[in-house]
Structure 1
Amino acid sequence: RPVSAPRTAAAAPPVARIGEIDVLRGCALLGILLINAQLMAGPAVAHGDGAGSGLADRGAAWATTALVSGKFYLLFSFLLGYGFTVQRRSAERAGVAFAARHLRRTAALFVLGLVHAVLLFPGDILMTYAALGLVLFALRDVRPRRLLRIAAVLLVSLAALLLAYGLLALALERTQGLAAPAADTGAAYRGGPGSVVRTNIELLPRFLGANVLHSADLLAALLAGLAAGKRRVLAGPGPRPVLLRRVVALGLPLGLAGGAFVAVCTHGPLEGGWFFVGQAAGVLTAPALTAAYACGVLLLVRVPAGRGIGATLAPAGRMSLTNYLAQSLALALVFTGYGLGLYGRVGTTTVLLGCLFLYAAQLALSALLSRHRRSGPAEFLLRAATRGGLPRRARWPPGAHHS
């Protein structure tokens, strides 16, 4: 865990990893997988209307929207903001310029995200994180309380915008929410690799537009993480159990109620402009459910019965970037012309069950890999870009417990 030390590079030991961050990242990977898998399987899957869909598929889609959608990207964003403070302290302790490191890191993250979007999944989030990382750097010296106020303004502003648009749509009796992809998207995704890449490029502006719209709540989560990192909330013994239980007790009912309302507005019986009204409610209540999830996990892994769960999640969290990209690769092999070409041909329940198997495999492989390496290959490349080149021995570093 981070401790104070001189900034002299020779005397400064490396900053130890914060185990809770790895555990929470490992948890967030599952939520991200459940949402991305539905998007990569086809828009009908996310609505429970996929091939051979029935009541179970519609219920699975409803539950995913209520319990998962919009929650775990917020958690990952919070952790990214917290990690920013750890990286800054690490650079200062090593006696190197943090600005240059951070700029190289964001540039590498953007390039990696662009390649990911073009080849695998146009809904990539890495490019958005890279852009918001520049905003985070600009606000790096702002006091925690002011950061939290800015985050609150961002959330309220986005919710007000979505609510206004939804009410306008209701007044005009608009019957549809977001525009659906073209009808021939399924055939294009089931084509060869060239067809898959062309379709990804065609859909990229649409996904980028959605990311720009929701960059406000992502930035709010980043700023909350930055504020928490400044106060070292997860350092030392971490938050007191009484505080964690209080967050769960307050956040769970509010977040669940908001998630249920979002699901009703997305899947019916409320339709049309209600979609955007539901999104507005989700922007305001999703952080409460996200916080409740995170605090619940932290409470769980602190008791003897839950320590094994934490030990299982942490290796995947240490390799979260590698696992995120590996998820997209596996899903592309299943749903596009890169492999089986099952886009639009499976139901929601089947997709979600497949996600659980994939996630279990990732947990097992991450645990196996962590015995020999301290990070995944994507993390190694990103670290090399951040530091301006490969280390003297340009090989994937062996297992260790420091970042």
Structure 2
Amino acid sequence: MRRDDGFVRREDPARLPELDILRGFALFGILLVNAELMAGPYASFGGGPGAGALDRAVAWTVTALTDTQFYLLFSFLFGYSFVLQRRSARQEGAAFAPRHLRRTAGLFGLGVLHAVVLYPGDILMTYAVLALVLYGLRDLAPRTALRLAAGLAVALAILLLAYGLLTVAATEPLTPAQYAPRVAGTVAAYRGGVQSVLGAHLHDLPSTLGTDLLYAPHFLAAFLAGLAAAGLRLVERRGRDRAWLRRVALRCLPAGLAGGALTACCADGPLDSRWFLVGHAVAVLTAPALAASYACGLLLLVRGRAARVLAAAGRMSLTHYLTQSLVLALVFTGYGLGLYDRAGTAAVIAGCLLLYGLQLAAGGAVAARVRYGPAELLLRTVTSARRPAPSGSSSPVRHHRSGEPRPVR
């Protein structure tokens, strides 16, 4: 039975609509970051050689507001959902470990295909591996999980800062014009045919996996923060507490914006390219504040139809994530238009706005007809080792001792 609580209509009593809303919103930030990386080789040079003032300003702003925050938000939601999935298995009387292992294997398999065919900067493989680590830490008390998360973030920030300062002291700055000859082969490969693009993906994959390994402690820290928040039932208790949401959003915003601005200065100017890792050391420490401000501000402001549209996108976030990569690959590589290194940053971001709007519209229409997107259906089938119940079917129920039915997660 559907229930409309004035926030978003709950089709599935087992889901927290607030988490789906945040996932739907996080898709936008992830799209902006990935689009810059898939559109050309100058994501860290303010738009590249010859970029106009508008492109440089847009690149700087995108870095300041989205560079790390949205992946952290998605990682936090992953950790929170891990606890919900564990509770669901317990309520159904099912063993959680086999389910979790199958789910991580499914995620890893999708990640491999995504990285090789569409985008080597895939995050699904990293999530799958870290999900196994999270399983080993599943029984940590919330306070212990938060302390470990803070320790991981601080350790990574110190490492990046030390290496970044060493880079500043020991190397000469590299301008976009000097960088261009080094990436000429990559540009040609991404503009080539299917075989050329696949070869470029395989060539870039080791370096992107190395980057994921470097930042794995940051993702795991966000997982652990989600684990702790779910253990405290933070969203259930505070997700609609307007005074609390406003307080957190306003308190976290200044530090988050200041850190984002410094990160952008190091990545997109006026500081030169040697300062990139210094900026990211700052981002490791301050991006969680901006992500928290985004999350609380969104839950504070979004209601009604907007909330339902975002929640529909969030329920199919994996399908939307893969679709974004498919569209971007068709636009920027030799799979389609071959616009790699041919579009300015402002045009790329404008295209992202259009794509995200179309995804929200299409996602809302699809969600009204089916329960799962294609990728979600595949992953749930692998996870449960059986095909999920078809759309529109009623959820199985158990009964309290009083005889009242209770939905099974």
Which TM-score applies when normalising by structure 2?
0.89
Paired residues of 1:51 and 1:345 also in contact (CA < 8 A): no
Aligned to 2:267: 266
Unaligned runs of 5+ in 1: 1-13
Q: Does 1:355 align with 2:346?
A: no
Aligned to 1:252: 253
Per-residue CA deviation, residues 84-137 of structure 1 (Å, 9 max, x unaligned), is 011001111111110000000001100100000000000000000000000110
Paired residues of 1:51 and 1:346 also in contact (CA < 8 A): no
| Partners of 1:113 and 1:260 in 2: CA distance | 31
3-state SS of 2:236 partner: coil
| Partners of 1:378 and 1:160 in 2: CA distance | 38
Unaligned runs of 5+ in 2: 1-11, 396-406
Paired residues of 1:175 and 1:271 also in contact (CA < 8 A): yes
Return closer, same or farther for 1:399/1:310 CA change in 2, 3 Å cut-off: farther
Aligned to 1:113: 111
Return closer, same or farther for 1:51/1:355 CA change in 2, 3 Å cut-off: farther
| Partners of 1:309 and 1:121 in 2: CA distance | 30
Paired residues of 1:23 and 1:317 also in contact (CA < 8 A): yes
Deviation for aligned residue 1:46: 5.3
Tell me which of 69, 72, 85 is aligned to 1:71. 69
Aligned CA-pair RMSD:
2.1
3-state SS of 1:44 partner: coil
Q: Which amino acid counterpart does residue 347 of structure 1 have in structure 2? A: G
Aligned to 2:149: 151
Paired residues of 1:40 and 1:332 also in contact (CA < 8 A): yes
Aligned to 1:292: 293
Aligned to 1:4: none
My pick for the range that moved more, 180-189 or 340-349, is 180-189
Give percent identity, aligned residues only: 56
Q: Does 1:169 align with 2:161?
A: no
3-state SS of 1:184 partner: helix
Q: Does 1:384 align with 2:381?
A: yes
Aligned to 2:282: 281
Return closer, same or farther for 1:336/1:150 CA change in 2, 3 Å cut-off: same
| Partners of 1:239 and 1:222 in 2: CA distance | 22
Aligned to 1:215: 216
Q: Which amino acid counterpart does residue 142 of structure 2 have in structure 1? A: P
Return closer, same or farther for 1:54/1:292 CA change in 2, 3 Å cut-off: same
3-state SS of 1:142 partner: coil
Aligned to 2:47: 49
Q: Which amino acid counterpart does residue 154 of structure 2 have in structure 1? A: V
Aligned to 1:9: none
Paired residues of 1:233 and 1:239 also in contact (CA < 8 A): no
Paired residues of 1:81 and 1:223 also in contact (CA < 8 A): yes
My pick for the range that moved more, 210-219 or 121-130, is 210-219
Aligned to 2:126: 128
3-state SS of 1:234 partner: helix
Return closer, same or farther for 1:117/1:154 CA change in 2, 3 Å cut-off: same
Which TM-score applies when normalising by structure 1?
0.91
Deviation for aligned residue 1:177: 10
Per-residue CA deviation, residues 135-160 of structure 1 (Å, 9 max, x unaligned), is 11000001000000000000100000
Q: Which amino acid counterpart does residue 283 of structure 2 have in structure 1? A: G
Return closer, same or farther for 1:398/1:177 CA change in 2, 3 Å cut-off: farther
